[in-house]
Structure 1
């Protein structure tokens, strides 16, 4: 492993994540929050929910009650007058359902003078859930959607119709109280109704689109679930004000700034990456191959969210698979590295945020008796990268604004 390149990667990752922590983003949005004379109740859902809630309560000084539901391991302490719960992600579990019931109890029976400060971030689709079908059936459908290669918009189009809180239904539950929603975006293009499946946003998707997704991926649904796909979601809400704050664009800009400080010329390829993780990794490797021998040190940056089509039963995540897929293309190239991380600090059902490979990785895998193509076929990027020291582990970061991937090429002699 190239230790200097790995150090550069660690610095870029650290700088990028620090730039998109939600504290300042929440404070900016709260400037438009004017609660008036009624109660202020706080509800927060998503991977960044605890961090957002803490920032909001510190800024406001007091709330009249609140509930946070976030991913396991993401609660960092107590928040005054707020109950905090951890639950399952990316598949909802019984704790997701129980915590959501607590949120619904919090907002039940409110008046038009009351205010609900709703803090939403990525991961909320699994964490904030009250299913209209049995919980185990919803878990099975979620696994089907994750395994078939459906993108996040397709997944959430289905989820909305199987839920009592998604697709604007949570805002209806708060009515007639006013809802002020602060959203940390984790979806390409910031489609408000798709972020965490839009609990407080009118739904732009249609029953016809939901049925098309069902047919496209040959999903196995019960008659009840199938009938729910044909029931329309709210298309208008008159009690919600929303502010989107934070996005993958900011994450990519921060990565570019860090690369520049380290002596690389940054090139933003896209902040709307949306393809198979393996293909993205191979593409970044190909980009580096095209610039070998360049007179400058270069950094090619992409942001967005890839998908993994499961073909095996190994352990990993989309960022780990993206990085590992680049290993063959850059094998033997001095000064070349590819790394990819999730800004929330977790990638798939693992403790890693992502993965790192360089020109030495393929040889190191071979020396360990591992065949790259077999590891990828088994979707076992976690164990493949672990064997060669290629895992990137940050721990929960407190934010969630998509992924960033960087391909570095350091010119000879630097």
Structure 2
């Protein structure tokens, strides 16, 4: 929960953040404690639910983990001078792939030289190329997306730097089957494992 400007932080709480906010972790309004005390238990729980969901959204986590100044890229608190590398690439894969890519673009802007985002959603990006894949079942798009990702990474040289953001669902969205294993075989095995009830670690 973000801190209030009040001397007593318990005097106010935050409403859920606006989906249009560039930084999903930034509060847009505060609610007085007097008004909050009149809320029903259901309303209070709803507030807490939205605060919790906002806090763990991929976009919120990206904004907490990636910052930049005019001279430095800051990743999880570690500073890296932009002069220390040539080009910056960003890669995001998974069910949160599009949202993570949009957050990276909002933070880094034209600092991003190129990159690839792979997700199962439709959406637009300005500095990175977006490919849609499938989840939870593998498809031809999974293989195509894997090839696009590898091709982009092969464009980098030793002086470049990259950020790779991974979220759930990536194992279905990008695939490169070993030689001799057909897509049909891969799909049959994956579908059988999905229906078996095994946990995600065993499935991967």
Matches within 5 A, 1:351-362: none
1:111 to 2:157 alignment:
yes
Structure 2: distance between partners of 1:82 and 1:58? 12
Q: Which residue of 2 aligns with 1:27?
A: 63
CA shift for structure 1 position 90: 0.8
Match for 2:147 among 88, 96, 101? 101
CA deviation vs aligned residue, 1:392-414 (integer Å, no higher than 9, x gap): xxxxxxxxxxxxxxxxxxxxxxx
1:149 pairs with 2:193: no
Partner of 1:84: 130
Calculate the aligned-residue CA RMSD, in Å. 2.3
Distance 2:138 2:46 in 1: 31
Q: Which whole-Å CA distance do the structure 2 matches of 1:11 and 1:93 have between them?
A: 39
**Residues 69 and 96 of structure 1 are in contact (CA less than 8 Å); yes or no, is this contact kept in structure 2?**
no
Deviation per CA, 1:232-266, whole angstroms, max 9, x where unpaired?
xxxxxxxxxxxxxxxxxxxxxxxxxxxxxxxxxxx
Structure 1: gaps spanning 5 or more residues: 157-414
Q: Displaced runs of 4+ in structure 1, greater than 4 A?
A: 4-13
Aligned partner of 2:98 in structure 1 is 50
8 Å CA contact 2:85, 2:161 repeated in 1: no
Measure the CA separation in 2 of the matches of 1:117 and 1:78: 19
Q: Decide which structure has the larger Cα Rg and report it.
A: 1
- Are 2:107 and 1:59 aligned? yes
* Cα distance, 1:52–1:19 mapped onto 2, change above 3 Å: same
Q: Trace 1:274-289 onto structure 2 (pairs within 5 A).
A: none
Deviations 1:51-72 (A, max 9, x none): 111111211122111111112x
The 2-side partners of 1:142 and 1:5 are apart by 44
Counterpart-to-counterpart distance in 2, 1:23 and 1:39? 23
In the TM superposition, what is the alpha-carbon distance from 1:11 to its structure 2 partner? 5.3
1:14-413 to structure 2, matched below 5 A, reads 14-30=50-66, 31-32=74-75, 34=80, 36-62=84-110, 63-71=112-120, 74-75=121-122, 77-132=123-178, 133-156=181-204
Work out the CA distance in 1 between the residues paired with 2:197 and 2:50: 30
> Cα distance 1:10–1:89, how it changes in 2: closer, same or farther (>3 A)?
farther
Local SS of the residue matching 2:113: coil
| CA shift for structure 1 position 49 | 0.9
Per-residue Cα deviation, 1:339-384 (whole angstroms, up to 9, x for no partner): xxxxxxxxxxxxxxxxxxxxxxxxxxxxxxxxxxxxxxxxxxxxxx
Q: What is the TM-score of this pair, normalised by structure 2?
A: 0.65
Once the 2 structures are TM-superposed, how far is the Cα of residue 10 of structure 1 from its aligned partner? 5.8
Q: TM-score, normalised by structure 1?
A: 0.34
In structure 2, the residue matched to 1:233 is: none
Matches of 1:130 and 1:121, distance apart in 2: 18
Q: 1:142 to 1:10 in 2, by over 3 A?
A: farther
Residue-by-residue CA offset, 1:76-102 (whole Å, 9 max, x unaligned): x32212111221111121112112211
Q: Unmatched 5+ residue regions in structure 2? A: 1-39, 67-73
